[in-house]
Chains A and B, each alone.
Chain A
Amino acid sequence: MLNRLWVRNFRNLSEQIIDFKPGVTVIVGDNNQGKTNLLEAVYCSAAGRPIQGERFSDLVNYHADSGVFAMEIGITNGGRIRIYRDFDRAGVKRPVLDGKGLSQKDISGHIDVVYWSAEIIRSFQESADYRRDLLDEICKKSNLAYEKLIRSYARVLSQRNAALKSGSAVLVELYTPTLIELSLKITDLRRSVLSEVFDTVNHYVPLLPLDGVGELEPILAIKRIDSNKYIKSMADVLMECSAKEYALGYTTVGAHRDDFDVLVGNRSVIQFFSRGVCRVLAVLINLSALELWGGGEL
């Protein structure tokens, strides 16, 4: 657990040292005093990266060029470790423990941090990008190979898009089989992870006073591809879209266009239920993933 946090020049926090007690910590303060910034600082110092959509160039205090995160974490054997890292507008430096460089993996084993704010509802409101990001975050937790899979997919996609822009059918065809193979792997993994998450979500739904929400069923919407015959179907759709893809210069189907929806009966939660229900659902999905792969209990 987090024992102590020291943060300097992070947004409006010029310098803060906070000692945390065991149990839940509630931070209370007037508007514009830096409550959210403090939460973000905890996330950044543990995860080594800004929260989604933010950049380090915006996180350094206006009057400074660089800052510091440091944290003391209590570890399971009763000991504690201290992690220190500098950051500037370009990014965050490697974490250091007692003067020795650490990798992010060394830290992740000791502290698991998830950042939620009112924006969590974005995953059920705005573009599919937010839902894909949410899926990616969860899949990364559940499967160590997922990140590598996503990186390989992004590389094939870039190569195929470059080939489409060059107009060479021979080159496009070279990258199509790998695109389909990786797309299938990613989609399969996403589907099984979603189904596991919703088994847990459904376990908690009856405990909450949510009007009209019964059994929830996640649906992974695979754009224009028949999921039962994925390889054949994706190859057919790519063939069908060929002229359009050459004109646009990018690939229009594949795992990068996956999306998901949640159904109650036959009704989409996103379309038919209130913002409140969507927000509760977003929290439940995140909590369930944490319970399944983050080592905690709800």
Chain B
Amino acid sequence: MLNPISPLVEQLVKLPGVGQKSAQRLAFFILSMPVKDVEQFSTVIRDVRNRVTYCQQCFNLTLEPLCAICSNPKRDAFRLCVVADPKDIFSIERTLEFDGIYHVLGGLISPLDGVTPESIRISELIYRLRSGDFKEVVLAVNPTIEGEATVLYLASILKTFSVRLTKLAYGLPIGGDLEYADELTLQRAVAARITIE
């Protein structure tokens, strides 16, 4: 006889980081929720999926043609921060340190995964740089092998534009301890040390 909750478990295991056991626990939790809450939950999932699209300018997630950042006149439209995914925008926005606008590449160059410069939004970035008047482009991608390769590629492409090209600094975590820092990070931190004004 078919397990009555198995169709739900089968859907839940499709989520990242959710295995068979977690899916079963979530399924039992959903069964224990009031029907009203479950309906609201499923409606929100469908609505968000149907209504959220990519911003026409920066490819951030949005409900309107332009995202909240691109349509905000107070943002510095001369500084552009290039990120790999929309979730990176959320991380940078939380710092309140950057008031420019963004460009989402939609991935990092990785031949192993079949991701080439043509399959991410680099041509869109070049188009934006040609049509805008940017002073600075910040490359804010993860310091991984693929991130480094993407930075290298972008640096070679963007050197023809007269913009200040920067990338995020590598260094020690705040509150960290030199003794316990991993040596690669420490090496980068020493190499990129800054003068105390």
Q: Give A residues with C-beta under 8 Å from B.
A: 143-145, 148-149, 152, 155-156, 158-160, 162-163, 165-166, 168, 170-171, 174-175, 177-178
Cross-chain contact A162 with B112 (CB below 8 angstroms): yes
User: A175 touches which one: B116, B149, B183, B184 (CB < 8 A)?
Assistant: B149
Complex: A175 Cα to B184 Cα, angstroms: 18
B111: chain A residues within 8 A (beta carbon) = 159-160, 162-163, 165-166, 168, 171, 175
Residues of B within 8 A of A (CB): 109-112, 116-117, 145-146, 148-149, 152-153, 182-184
Complex-state Cα separation, A152 to B144, whole angstroms: 9
Contact (Cβ within 8 A) B184 A158: no
**Cα separation A178 to B182 with both chains bound (whole Å):** 18
5 further A-B contacts with Cβ under 8 Å, apart from A145-B184, A148-B182, A159-B145, are A163-B111, A168-B116, A171-B111, A171-B116, A175-B145
- CB pair B112 A159 closer than 8 Å: yes
Measured between alpha carbons, how far is A155 from B109 in the docked complex, in Å?
13
Q: A174-B152, A175-B149, A178-B145 are in contact. Are A159 and B184 (CB under 8 A)?
A: no
Closest 5 CB pairs of A and B: A145-B183, A162-B111, A174-B149, A163-B111, A162-B112
Residues of A within 8 A of B184 (CB): 145, 148-149, 152
Partner of B148, one of A158, A165, A178: A178
Ordered by A's residue number, 11 sampled pairs between the chains whose C-beta atoms are within 8 Å are A144-B183, A145-B182, A145-B184, A152-B145, A159-B149, A160-B111, A170-B153, A171-B111, A174-B109, A174-B149, A178-B145
Q: Which residues of B contact A162 (CB under 8 A)?
A: 111-112
Q: Nearest chain A CB to B160's CB is how many angstroms away? A: 16
Please report the C-alpha to C-alpha distance between residue A158 and residue B113 in the assembled complex, in whole angstroms.
Answer: 11
Q: How far is the CB of B115 from chain A (nearest CB, A)?
A: 10
A152 to B183, CA, bound (A): 13
- Bound-state CA distance A145–B186 (Å) is 10
**A31: min CB distance to chain B, Å:** 45
Question: Which residues of chain B are near A156, meaning CB under 8 Å?
Answer: 145
Nearest chain A residue, comparing its CB with the CB of B186 = A145
B116: shortest Cβ distance to chain A, in Å? 7
Question: In whole Å, how far is B109's beta carbon from the nearest beta carbon of chain A?
Answer: 6
Contact across chains for B146 and A159 when beta carbons are under 8 A apart: yes
In the complex, which residues of chain A have a beta carbon less than 8 angstroms from the beta carbon of B117? 170-171
Residues in A with CB closer than 8 Å to B148 are 178
Q: Which residues of B lie under 8 Å from residue A166 when comparing CB positions? A: 111, 116
Q: Is the CB of B109 within 8 A of A171?
A: yes
Considering only CB atoms, which chain B residue lies closest to A181 in the complex?
A: B148
Considering the chains assembled together, what is the distance between the CA atoms of A155 and B143 in angstroms?
Answer: 13
Question: Which residues of B have CB within 8 Å of A144?
Answer: 182-183
Residue from B109, B110, B145, B146 with most neighbouring chain A CB atoms (10 Å): B145
The docked-state distance in angstroms from the alpha carbon of A179 to that of B148 is 12
Q: Give the CA-CA distance A149 to B186 in the complex, in Å.
A: 13
A144 to B180, CA, bound (A): 10
Complex interface: chain B residues within 8 A of A165 (CB): 111
The answer to whether B110 touches A159, judged by C-beta atoms less than 8 angstroms apart, is: yes
Tell which of B145, B152, B153, B183 touches A155, judged by Cβ atoms closer than 8 Å. B145
On chain B, the residues within 8 Å of A170 by CB distance are 117, 153
Q: Which residues of A contact B145 (CB under 8 A)?
A: 152, 155-156, 159, 175, 178
B33 to chain A, nearest CB (A): 30
A170–B149 Cα gap in the complex (Å)? Answer: 11
